[in-house]
Each structure stands twice: as structure tokens, then as C-alpha cells.
């Protein structure tokens, strides 16, 4: 790792400390529920929605944080390839998604084991975290304000989820729902990240925003 990249990584870690702290709080709540409380009552809508919000915020803050703090020009001037910048910044916020999976794990376990919820519905809870993050990441490239990018990411995730649910219901009548729904569930967030990278890097490696 060269000096410029090391300096960039240290700056990222400092700037994302509040985000990491919020993720740590939610993970701590999950661990407390696992080890000290009855898992039959572990499900919490507040924790679930808070985890979704933090996942969307993690994606949204990836680049809007630079714009809001006025350090985006510094980022642009670094002698580092744009693709690498995108990768490093994305990885710094992406680590929040597995943490949020841990935070919702007790509740999902409670729903499946004690609530009679189907496993495929429980898996959607984890898939949704990736969706919230990826759409937040996309809007972090398109917008300048963190909160607006976060809300846009959340709104887009809900709209995409509703559209996919309607399409899956149609496919279910054709007996093709399981495979195509899985493909869509994976393809949509991947497409959002690809588009975000494309917009950030531009056609020739230049920043496109």
C-alpha cells in the first residue's frame, strides 16, 4: 500500500467512526438478546428498521460524505486510480452490512423457529440489507446531501421490492418464481453497484460526477 492510499484509508476510518459506532450499538443489542434474553421475544421491528436505515445510510454516506465535508476535491486529486478509490471507499462502508445482518439475526431466528415464518421470507430480511446499501451507494454518487441520498435509497429499495414482489407473483403462476426471483434478488443490487461505479469512474477512468 503506497503512502497516498494509506493516508486515504486513515481518513476514511476517522470520518466513518459515527457510522461504525451506530452499527456497533445495534450489534451489541443483538448479542445481548442472544445471550441474556429469551429468543422467543427477540424480534423487534425497531431494531429491524434501524438496521435497514443504517445499511442505507452506509451506502449513502460513501461519497456524499466527501461532498458535504468539502473534501471531494482532495479525493479527486489523489494519485490513485478511480476504480481503486471506488473500491476502497465502498469496502469501508460495506462492512456495515454484515454487522447489520448480525443485528437482525436474533429477530429472524425468533420468527422462523417460534413464529412459523418461512425460511425464504427470513432470507429476504438479509437480502433487503444488501438492497438498502446498494441503492444508497448509487444515490451517494448522484446526490450531494447524505440524508437525501439515504431517503432516496430507502424509497428506491421499497419501490424495487414492491415491483419485484408483483413480478414474482406473476411468475409464480407460471411456476418459474423460485429461480427467477433469486436471479432478480441478486441482479438488482449488483446492477446498482455497477451503475454507481460507472457514474463515479466515467468512461475513461475520470470521475464522472
For residues 164 and 184, the answer to whether their CB atoms sit within 8 Å is yes
What one-character-per-residue DSSP string does 31-78 give?
A: HHHHHHS-GGG---HHHHHHHHHHHHHHHHHHHHHHHHHT-HHHHHHS
Residue 147, in any domain of the structure = yes
Residue 12, in any domain of the structure = yes
Residue 190, in any domain of the structure = yes
User: What is the C-alpha separation between 176 and 199, in angstroms, rounded?
Assistant: 34
pTM over cut 0.85 = no
Residue 136, in any domain of the structure = yes
179 lies in which domain range? 3-201
User: What is the C-alpha separation between 85 and 79, in angstroms, rounded?
Assistant: 10
Residue 207, in any domain of the structure = no
The DSSP symbol for 16 reads T
Residue 206, in any domain of the structure = no
Task: Report the domain count for the chain.
Answer: 1
pLDDT of the chain, 209 residues: tens digit per residue: 556 566 666 777 777 888 888 889 988 988 888 787 777 766 778 888 899 999 999 999 988 877 777 666 666 666 777 888 888 889 888 989 999 988 888 888 887 877 777 777 777 888 889 999 999 999 999 988 889 999 999 999 988 888 777 766 665 555 555 667 777 788 889 999 999 999 888 744 444 44
Cell numbers at 118, concatenated: 418461512
Residue 208, in any domain of the structure = no
The angle, 0 to 180 degrees and rounded to 10, between the axes of the packed helices 45-69 and 17-36 is 170
Amino acid at each position: 500500500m503506497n503512502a497516498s492510499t494509506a493516508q486515504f484509508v486513515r481518513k476514511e476510518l476517522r470520518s466513518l467512526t459515527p457510522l461504525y459506532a451506530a452499527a456497533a450499538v445495534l450489534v451489541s443489542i443483538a448479542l445481548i438478546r442472544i445471550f441474556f434474553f429469551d429468543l422467543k421475544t427477540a424480534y423487534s421491528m425497531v431494531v429491524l428498521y434501524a438496521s435497514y436505515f443504517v445499511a442505507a445510510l452506509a451506502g449513502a454516506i460513501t461519497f456524499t460524505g466527501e461532498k458535504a465535508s468539502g473534501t471531494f476535491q482532495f479525493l479527486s486529486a489523489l494519485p490513485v486510480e478511480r476504480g481503486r478509490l471506488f473500491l476502497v471507499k465502498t469496502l469501508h462502508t460495506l462492512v456495515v452490512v454484515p454487522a447489520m445482518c448480525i443485528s437482525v439475526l436474533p429477530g429472524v431466528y425468533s420468527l422462523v423457529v417460534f413464529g412459523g415464518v418461512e425460511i425464504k421470507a427470513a432470507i429476504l430480511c438479509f437480502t433487503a440489507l444488501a438492497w438498502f446499501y446498494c441503492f444508497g451507494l448509487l444515490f451517494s454518487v448522484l446526490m450531494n446531501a447524505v440524508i437525501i441520498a439515504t431517503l432516496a435509497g430507502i424509497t428506491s429499495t421499497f419501490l424495487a421490492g414492491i415491483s419485484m414482489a408483483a413480478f414474482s407473483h406473476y411468475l409464480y403462476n407460471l411456476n418459474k418464481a423460485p429461480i427467477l426471483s433469486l436471479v432478480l434478488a441478486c441482479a438488482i443490487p449488483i446492477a446498482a453497484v455497477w451503475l454507481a461505479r460507472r457514474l463515479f469512474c466515467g468512461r475513461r477512468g475520470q470521475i464522472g460526477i
